[in-house]
Amino acid sequence: MGIGTKWYRKSLLTVAGIPAVEKLSMRYGRKLAGKFIAGDTLAEALEEAEALNRLGIMVTLDHLGEGIKQLSEAAAYKEQYLKLLDGIAERKVDANVSLKPTQMGLALNQGACLSNIRDVVKQARHHRNFVRIDMEDTPHTQATIDIVRRLHKEGLTNVGTVLQAYLFRTEQDAADMIRENVNLRLVKGAYKESDSVAYQQMSEVRGQLKKLAKLHLDEGVYTAIASHDDQIIDWVKQYARDNGIDKSRFEFQMLYGLRSNKQAQLAKEGYRIRCYVPYGVMWYPYYTRRLAEKPANLMLVLRNMFR
């Protein structure tokens, strides 16, 4: 990451965290966020998922929510996920689900969070589906990994998590979880982390992401590479071609509203590609992370403002 990009990202996340800015944005910004959010309701999200499926794109659905204040909110989110899994099964949508551990209560009570996630994973297993636990910021990394490991030990193997290439610890986590055959999504990392725990330069983060992808592809563990970055996507394609790795052994993932043409093109080329589709009313933190990732995303929103 260049100094300019780093400054942009940190400033945007800092400004977005100011309560008055959040309040104003929640009031007036929903329409602008629409580009990145599939809708407020489950029905709208399932419709979008079906439209993506028609293009050969698989989906992961995220009922937005994070950083809750009371466990009763976690229980309500859990219920939403159970309904979501039923909805996917009923309408036969090619989709799994992604959830945030703090949405299920991780920051309040780890035991309760485990129990909520376990219920969701069991419901997913009932429908032969899969649950991805998104990775949040570093105070939650170890606890998230512990929950996934614990569920695997209980025989619930239809759950996986995410590893962030920017963290120093990730190489070790990857090696450990590959041994345990945990299905992982590999990303660069979206949170504001200090240089005591995370690589700060884009070139280093890209290098780490390629290293992780190589490790997974070499070991033959099914993996998801989630990035909009052509340098990463082209590298993975080339590495798979050079090493006779079948397209069925990995998938690409991208976010709803970003690089839609590229997503369709990858599907046409016969790659497995999954779109991360968020929906719901708690869109603000998700949305500000997207704006922080790229000045171009902010430009996109500003352009929409004047349409």
* C-alpha span between 66 and 69 (Å, rounded): 9
Least distance CB 253 / ligand FDA (angstroms):
4
Of 197-226, binders to ligand FDA (CB under 6 A) are 226
Q: Which stretch binds ligand FDA (CB under 6 A): 49-57, 81-89, 173-181, 248-256?
A: 248-256
- Which pairs count as long-range contacts for 239-244, CB under 8 Å and 24+ apart, including other chains? 239/213, 239/214, 243/217, 243/218
Residue 187 sits in the site that holds ligand FDA (CB under 6 A): yes
Q: Which is nearer to ligand FDA, 53 or 126 (CB)?
A: 53
Of the residues 37, 121, 254, 266, which one makes contact with ligand FDA according to CB under 6 A: 254
Residue 162 sits in the site that holds ligand FDA (CB under 6 A): yes
- Contact (Cβ atoms closer than 8 angstroms) between residue 222 and residue 183: yes
Q: Which is nearer to ligand FDA, 86 or 191 (CB)?
A: 191
Of the residues 35, 125, 259, 260, which one makes contact with ligand FDA according to CB under 6 A: 259
Least distance CB 179 / ligand FDA (angstroms):
22
What is the DSSP track for the chain? Answer: --HHHHHHHHHHHHHHTSHHHHHHHHHH-HHHHTTT---SSHHHHHHHHHHHHHTT-EEEEEE---S-SSHHHHHHHHHHHHHHHHHHHHHT-SEEEEE-GGGGTTTT-HHHHHHHHHHHHHHHHHTT--EEE----GGGHHHHHHHHHHHHHTT--SEEEEEETTBTTHHHHHHHHHHTT--EEEE---S---TTTB--SHHHHHHHHHHHHHHHHHHT--EEEE---HHHHHHHHHHHHHTT--GGGEEEEEETTSSHHHHHHHHHTT--EEEEEEESS--HHHHHHHHHH-HHHHHHHHHHHT-
The pair of three-digit structure tokens given for residue 59, joined into one six-digit string: 């989906």
Q: Which is nearer to ligand FDA, 86 or 215 (CB)?
A: 215
Q: Which stretch binds ligand FDA (CB under 6 A): 68-76, 174-182, 247-255, 277-285?
A: 247-255
Of the residues 29, 189, 280, 285, which one makes contact with ligand FDA according to CB under 6 A: 189
Residue 58 sits in the site that holds ligand FDA (CB under 6 A): no
272 is catalytic: no
Least distance CB 130 / ligand FDA (angstroms):
14
Of the residues 37, 104, 217, 255, which one makes contact with ligand FDA according to CB under 6 A: 255
Q: Which is nearer to ligand FDA, 8 or 178 (CB)?
A: 8
Q: Which is nearer to ligand FDA, 118 or 206 (CB)?
A: 206
185 is catalytic: yes
Of the residues 190, 267, 277, 301, which one makes contact with ligand FDA according to CB under 6 A: 190
Q: Which of 9, 132, 185, 289 is catalytic?
A: 185
Of the residues 35, 91, 228, 247, which one makes contact with ligand FDA according to CB under 6 A: 228
Of 260-289, binders to ligand FDA (CB under 6 A) are 276
Site size with ligand FDA, rule: CB under 6 A: 23
- Contact (Cβ atoms closer than 8 angstroms) between residue 269 and residue 261: no
Considering only CA atoms, which of 211, 131, 223, 134 is closest in space to residue 177?
Answer: 223
| Binding residues for ligand FDA (CB under 6 A) | 134-135, 162, 164, 187-191, 226-230, 232, 253-255, 258-259, 276, 293-294
Q: Which residues are catalytic?
A: 134, 185
